[in-house]
């Protein structure tokens, strides 16, 4: 075969390989939702719906407090059994007593100092997580703690928070002790049992310095949890950065050399007072376009290893005040929104002809 002919034969093979690699990368992305715990809802119909819709990831909260933990363990065993039946991967998010202002854990550590906070994080995590070491691999250590940080004027750090120094304040030092204890507990379980449990640490918006701060205080983590809410027209490759120049969110996340889960994703139109939460409402329709764009950016980027995308949340919560009452993909289990159809499309799940039409007529 001549060199020239070999070159023409090799080119299609390289193109085919590149397409296959790109498809493999896209297929590796898992899709899911955040949803209620077993104590609030029967999860069997929820997990059945998820399986039909191509959704494999379920994020749910657990309270590791003295009054809640015994019940949480029993309920979580039921959740694990159901998840296994429907091939759902669970992503528990653990909350500690300190979230509710309890420094002593109901008097277990009466001094309430930073050593007490470390013991709270360690002991609560070790006792609970070790029970489920063979069932759940990823454990998220608290939620949006970065949003508790404020500047000298009492303002949250939106548009700031890119450095560890931004989080050097007493409250963050306290939280670092809780999370340090929790991460050490999981490491100890791994050493004792040979498990490979992963510690997940969360941040949001521009506050990526939270990760650096926590690591500098001894908090070890294996996976980054990131929350992303944007309006239509925003580009994460030019992410808003307050008064500073925009930055590429994916490249910045990649600089931490860890996989990422975008485990709270939705449109930011929901926060607007005029959001109608119904088909045909202008902001609701704009929200759908925003979600589509976000899903495409997450699916198509090549800079960082994104393991999963989870939409917040599965159901509306009408008992809450706006906007927290209307983030759901469904009004109820038998009343889906168009947003669920859109997520199902990206996840490769089941869509009826009518649901496909709802997407097609909107250009989604």
For range 39-62, the mean pLDDT: 97
Token pair in block for residue 146: 């970065």
CB–CB of 210/249 below 8 Å? no
Token pair in block for residue 125: 């995590």
Q: Which of 19-23, 60-64, 192-196 has the lowest mean pLDDT?
A: 19-23
Q: Is the pLDDT of residue 76 over 80?
A: yes
CB–CB of 144/202 below 8 Å? yes
Rounded to an integer, what distance in angstroms lies between the CA atom of residue 119 and that of residue 109?
8
Residue 299 pLDDT grade (very low, low, confident, very high; cuts 50, 70, 90): very high
- The pLDDT tens digits of the residues spanning 193-240 come to 999 999 999 999 999 999 999 999 999 999 999 999 999 999 999 999
Token pair in block for residue 198: 């992963």
For range 234-250, the mean pLDDT: 96
Rounded to an integer, what distance in angstroms lies between the CA atom of residue 109 and that of residue 124?
12
Q: Which of 18-22, 78-82, 333-337, 353-357 has the lowest mean pLDDT?
A: 18-22
Q: Is the pLDDT of residue 273 over 60?
A: yes
Rounded to an integer, what distance in angstroms lies between the CA atom of residue 157 and that of residue 269?
21
Rounded to an integer, what distance in angstroms lies between the CA atom of residue 16 and that of residue 10?
10
Cβ neighbours of 74 (radius 10 Å)? 10
**Residue 333 backbone zone (phi > 0: left; psi -120 to 50: alpha; other: beta):** alpha
List the domains of the chain with CATH numbers: 29-361 (3.20.20.80)
For range 235-257, the mean pLDDT: 97
Residue 170 CA: distances (Å) to CA of 110, 162, 166, 177: 19, 18, 12, 11
Token pair in block for residue 35: 């949803």
Buried-exposed string 179-194: b where 16+ CB fall within 10 A, e elsewhere: bbbbbbbbeebeeeee
Q: Is the pLDDT of residue 3 over 60?
A: no
Report which of 290, 243, 246 is spatially closest to residue 266, judged by C-alpha positions.
290
- Which is more confident, 22 or 150? 150
């Amino acid at each position: 075969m001549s060199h020239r002919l070999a070159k023409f034969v090799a080119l299609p093979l390289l193109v085919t390989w590149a397409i296959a690699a790109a498809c493999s990368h896209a297929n590796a992305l898992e899709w899911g939702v955040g949803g209620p715990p077993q104590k609030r809802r029967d999860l069997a119909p929820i997990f059945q719906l998820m399986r039909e819709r191509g959704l494999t990831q379920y994020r749910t909260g657990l309270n590791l407090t003295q009054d809640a933990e015994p019940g949480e363990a029993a309920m979580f065993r039921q959740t694990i059994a159901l998840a296994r039946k429907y091939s759902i991967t669970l992503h528990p998010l653990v909350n500690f007593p300190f979230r509710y202002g309890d420094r002593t854990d109901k008097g277990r550590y009466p001094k309430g100092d930073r050593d007490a906070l470390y013991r709270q994080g360690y002991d609560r995590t070790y006792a609970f997580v070790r029970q489920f070491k063979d069932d759940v691999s990823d454990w998220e250590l608290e939620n949006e703690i970065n949003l508790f940080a404020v500047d000298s004027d009492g303002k949250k750090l939106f548009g700031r928070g890119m450095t560890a120094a931004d989080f050097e304040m007493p409250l963050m030092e306290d939280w670092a002790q809780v999370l340090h204890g929790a991460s050490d507990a999981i490491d100890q379980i791994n050493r004792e049992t040979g498990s490979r449990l992963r510690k997940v640490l969360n941040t949001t918006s521009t506050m990526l310095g939270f990760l650096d701060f926590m690591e500098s205080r001894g908090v070890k983590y294996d996976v980054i949890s990131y929350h992303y809410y944007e309006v239509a027209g925003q580009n994460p490759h030019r992410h808003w950065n307050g008064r500073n120049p925009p930055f590429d969110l994916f490249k910045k996340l990649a600089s931490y050399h860890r996989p990422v889960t975008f485990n709270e994703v939705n449109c930011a139109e929901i926060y607007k007072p005029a959001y109608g939460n119904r088909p045909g409402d202008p902001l609701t329709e704009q929200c759908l376009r925003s979600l589509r764009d976000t899903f495409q950016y997450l699916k198509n980027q090549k800079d960082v290893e994104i393991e999963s995308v989870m939409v917040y949340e599965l159901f509306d919560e009408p008992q809450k005040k706006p906007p927290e009452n209307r983030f759901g993909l469904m009004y109820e289990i038998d009343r889906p929104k168009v947003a669920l159809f859109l997520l199902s499309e990206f996840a490769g799940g089941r869509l009826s002809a009518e649901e496909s039409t709802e997407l097609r007529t909107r250009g989604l």
